Amino acid sequence: MAHHFKIKKNKAGEFVAYFMYNSEAIFWTEGYSSKASAKNAIESVKKNGPGAETVDETAG
């Protein structure tokens, strides 16, 4: 399983959704009070992410 989503609890007890690649967290969401909200965040990324543009704000 090279890449996948993972839901874990943070130190504050909130649910956080992580996008993992080769066991490394590539990005993660804010903390949510419910697991359902973390699952909704994952579904939103899956739905809206494929067509996302890349904005490069570096000077060069």
H/E run at residue 17:
strand 15-21
pTM reported for the whole predicted model:
0.81
The answer to whether the beta carbons of residues 19 and 11 sit under 8 Å apart is no
Residue % of the chain over a pLDDT of 90: 80
Is residue 29 assigned to a domain?
yes
Give CA–CA dist 23/43, Å, rounded. 20
State the residue range of the domain holding 11: 3-48
Over residues 28-46, the pLDDT tens digits come to 999 999 999 999 999 999 9
Give CA–CA dist 39/47, Å, rounded. 12
Is residue 7 assigned to a domain?
yes
Is residue 59 assigned to a domain?
no
Is residue 54 assigned to a domain?
no
Average pLDDT over residues 3-18: 96
Confidence class for position 1, pLDDT limits 50, 70, 90: low
